[in-house]
Amino acid sequence: MRKFDYTKLPDELMHYELMNLISAIHEYKGKQELFIEAKPDILESMLEIAKIQSTGASNRIEGIYTSDERLDALVKLKAEPQNRSEREIAGYREVLSLIHENYDHITPNTNVILQLHRDLYHFSPSLSGGKFKNSDNIIAETDASGKRKVRFQPLSAFETPDAVDHLTTTFIEAVNADKYDPLLLIPIFVLDFLCIHPFNDGNGRLSRLLTLLILYRSGYIVGKYLSIEMIIENTKETYYEVLYDSSIGWQEENNRYFTFVKYYLEVILRAYKEFSARVELFQDRSLTKQERIRKLFDDTLQKLSKRVILEKCPDISTSTVEVALASLLKEGYIIKTGAGKNTAYIRNTNK
The stretch 164-176 carries a mean pLDDT of 97
Kind and range of the H or E element at 336? strand 334-337
Return the bridge partners of 141, or none: 149
Are 197 and 341 within one domain?
no
pLDDT interval class at 32 (50, 70, 90): confident
pLDDT value of residue 341: 86
Binding-site positions for ATP: 201-208, 239-240
Are 98 and 151 within one domain?
yes
CATH number at residue 200: 1.10.3290.10
Answer yes or no: is 84 within a domain. yes
CATH number at residue 294: 1.10.10.10
Are 126 and 196 within one domain?
yes
Alpha helices in 121-235 (DSSP H): 160-177, 182-196, 203-217, 228-234
Answer yes or no: is 29 within a domain. yes
Are 265 and 332 within one domain?
no
CA-nearest of 264, 122, 245 to 184 is 264
Are 219 and 98 within one domain?
yes
pLDDT digits (tens, 9 = 90+) for 146-169: 677 677 889 999 999 999 999 999
HSE at residue 269, side-chain half, CA atoms within 13 A, is 18
Instruction: Give dist(CA 231, CA 289) in Å, integer.
Output: 26
Query: Of 281, 304, 322, which one is at a domain's C-terminal end?
Result: 281
Answer yes or no: is 217 within a domain. yes
- Catalytic residue ranges: 197
Answer yes or no: is 233 within a domain. yes
Are 51 and 161 within one domain?
yes
Q: Domain range holding 332?
A: 286-347
pLDDT digits (tens, 9 = 90+) for 269-321: 999 999 998 888 877 778 899 999 999 999 898 999 999 999 888 889 999 99
Are 227 and 305 within one domain?
no
Are 219 and 304 within one domain?
no
Answer yes or no: is 2 within a domain. no
Are 164 and 32 within one domain?
yes
Are 214 and 342 within one domain?
no
pTM of the model: 0.88
Are 175 and 322 within one domain?
no
pLDDT value of residue 243: 95
Instruction: Give dist(CA 118, CA 91) in Å, integer.
Output: 9
SS3 category, 347: strand
pLDDT digits (tens, 9 = 90+) for 203-214: 999 999 999 999
Query: Of 259, 281, 303, which one is at a domain's C-terminal end?
Result: 281
Query: Counting Cβ atoms within 10 Å, is residue 124 exposed (0-12), middle (13-18) or buried (19+)?
Result: middle
Are 292 and 195 within one domain?
no
Task: Report the domain count for the chain.
Answer: 2
Q: What is the DSSP string of 95-122?
A: HHHHHHHHGGG---SHHHHHHHHHHHTT
